[in-house]
Amino acid sequence: MNPSTQGIVGILVGECTGPLPFAESAFFRQLCHIGNQQRMTIYVFCPGWVTSGHRSIPGYTFENGKWIRKQFRAPEIIYDRCISLDKRQQRRKQRCLEILNELQPFVYLTRGLAGKWSVYQALVKHKLFVPFLPHTVRYENSSQLDQWISNHEGEAFLKPQNGSHGKRTLHVKEIKSEPGGGFVVTGRDSSNQPFLRKFHSRQDGLEWIHRFVGSRIFLLQPYLQLNNANGEPFDVRVLMQKNENGNWSMTGMAVRAGRKHTLTSNLHGGGSAHRALPFLTKELGTQDASRAIDTIHHLSEAIPVHLESHFGRLAELGIDFGVDRKGQVWILEVNSKPGRSSLSRIGDMQGARKSVENPIQYARYLLLRKNLA
């Protein structure tokens, strides 16, 4: 490393249109600020900007109150915030990483997870998690869905293997009064807009769902009643991160409540954030709320260690839990590229600050270990 700096961290992101060619600029601005305090160089770059034959990388850093584009040395650590939506983007990202590794071997801050189905398969192997996992299978065809609905009290929940923010989720409910056994399908489209469709014919509904799924991988689960007394869907988001000592710790916890009669509770879908214990106490009572919080803490401590043994080094995880009207806790999803806005929304400013500091401090921990090795 250059004696004037404590390391170079490149934040790998997907390219988009707008005033800046990347999203999450407020988060990355904070990372640059914290990196500067630690005498680290932090910059943002996209896979398409890295080309073979060039020893420097074009990127953006935040200096003197503004974003500046300039050339940087290859990163020693890569913080991957890039979500590849298709195989073409995955190949471009992989080629970018190959070129960077040729320039200088780098350390991955976090390996990431391989999709919801792989995460479920990893978790279900551990007896600790099994009672808290909704039974999950891959969607195959209309006849499988038809049988599933018949076996699960006339309902089903479908979600995409690689989806985020509640996009393309579906709740299918049988209309028992219909002679043909029709369906009501509620969900969110690819733009995260809520919709409702009614099918008087069971077959029409099944065919429409099959077209909606298309060639994408979808997961099929029982529909869980995860609404509060007002009919608002909610979940509990826990942010687990590695700290400056390389140890997992809970940075914060918040309830995310969606709009009434909508399907998901994600804040991108127009939801609100609340402190977990008061919210659950209001819904479940003191004893059941306390029991649910204890269970969430216990599971949150165990999940990161278990998933690291399957997927390699991880730096942070957003773990989403459902809590039903009986107080039963459910592991809903685990995200290796989590958001963190819910902490500031509930006024947990210490947690919000740590959520930004931890990735940089863990990166510094890895660099120090690398240089001492």
Does 236 lie in the same domain as 346? yes
User: How open is the CA angle 132-134-137, to the nearest 5 degrees?
Assistant: 140
Give the domain extent around 241. Answer: 116-134+226-363
Does 311 lie in the same domain as 247? yes
Q: Is residue 196 part of a domain?
A: yes
Does 253 lie in the same domain as 141? no
Does 83 lie in the same domain as 27? yes
Mean pLDDT of the chain: 93
Cβ atoms within 10 Å, residue 252: 22
pLDDT in tens, 159-210: 999 877 788 999 999 998 777 679 999 998 988 888 999 999 999 999 999 9
pLDDT of 4 over the 70 cut: no
Which residue bears the tokens 């990372």?
31
pLDDT of 269 over the 70 cut: no
| CATH code, domain carrying 76 | 3.40.50.20
Alpha helix (H) ranges present in 39-113?
Answer: 87-103
CA dist 154 → 169, 181, 194 (Å): 17, 10, 21
Does 245 lie in the same domain as 186? no
The last residue of a domain, from among 221, 251, 271 = 221
Tokens of residue 306, six digits = 């278990």
Q: Which long-range contacts (CB under 8 A, 24 or more apart) does 20-29 make?
A: 20/60, 20/67, 21/46, 22/46, 22/60, 24/81, 25/67, 27/340, 27/356, 28/62, 29/62, 29/67
Tokens of residue 4, six digits = 């004037």
Does 213 lie in the same domain as 69? no
pLDDT at 370: 79
Q: Is residue 65 part of a domain?
A: yes
pLDDT of 30 over the 50 cut: yes
Q: Is residue 307 part of a domain?
A: yes
Torsion sign (Cα): 310, 294, 351, 345 = positive
Distance (Å, rounded) from C-alpha 239 to C-alpha 96?
A: 29
Distance (Å, rounded) from C-alpha 145 to C-alpha 155?
A: 10
pLDDT in tens, 89-114: 889 999 999 999 999 999 999 988 98
Distance (Å, rounded) from C-alpha 363 to C-alpha 352?
A: 18
pLDDT at 89: 84
The last residue of a domain, from among 155, 186, 221 = 221
Instruction: Give the residue from 270, 254, 261, 277 showing the smallest Cα distance to 349.
Output: 254
Q: Count how many domains the chain has.
A: 3
Does 252 lie in the same domain as 208? no
In this structure, what are the phi and psi dihedrals at residue 311, rounded to the nearest 5 degrees? -115, -5
Q: Is residue 63 part of a domain?
A: yes
pLDDT in tens, 31-70: 999 999 999 999 999 999 999 888 999 999 999 999 999 9
3-class secondary-structure state, position 184: strand
Does 198 lie in the same domain as 187? yes
Q: Is residue 368 part of a domain?
A: no
pLDDT at 114: 84
Q: Is residue 372 part of a domain?
A: no
Does 211 lie in the same domain as 128? no
Q: Is residue 203 part of a domain?
A: yes
Does 270 lie in the same domain as 216? no
Instruction: Give the residue from 370, 361, 293, 364 showing the smallest Cα distance to 327.
Output: 293
| CATH code, domain carrying 355 | 3.30.470.20
Does 152 lie in the same domain as 74? no
pLDDT at 85: 67
pLDDT of 283 over the 70 cut: yes
Q: Is residue 1 part of a domain?
A: no
The last residue of a domain, from among 190, 221, 252 = 221
pLDDT in tens, 130-159: 999 999 999 999 999 999 999 999 999 999
pLDDT above 90 coverage of the chain, percent: 82
The predicted model gives 234-253 an average pLDDT of 98
Does 302 lie in the same domain as 208? no
Predicted confidence band of residue 268 (pLDDT cuts 50, 70, 90): low
pLDDT at 2: 47
Lowest mean pLDDT among 180-194, 209-223, 271-285, 315-329: 180-194
pTM of the complete model:
0.93
Strand segments, DSSP code E, in the chain are 8-12, 41-45, 56-63, 66-73, 77-80, 107-108, 137-138, 155-160, 170-174, 183-188, 194-199, 218-221, 234-242, 248-257, 272-274, 316-323, 329-335
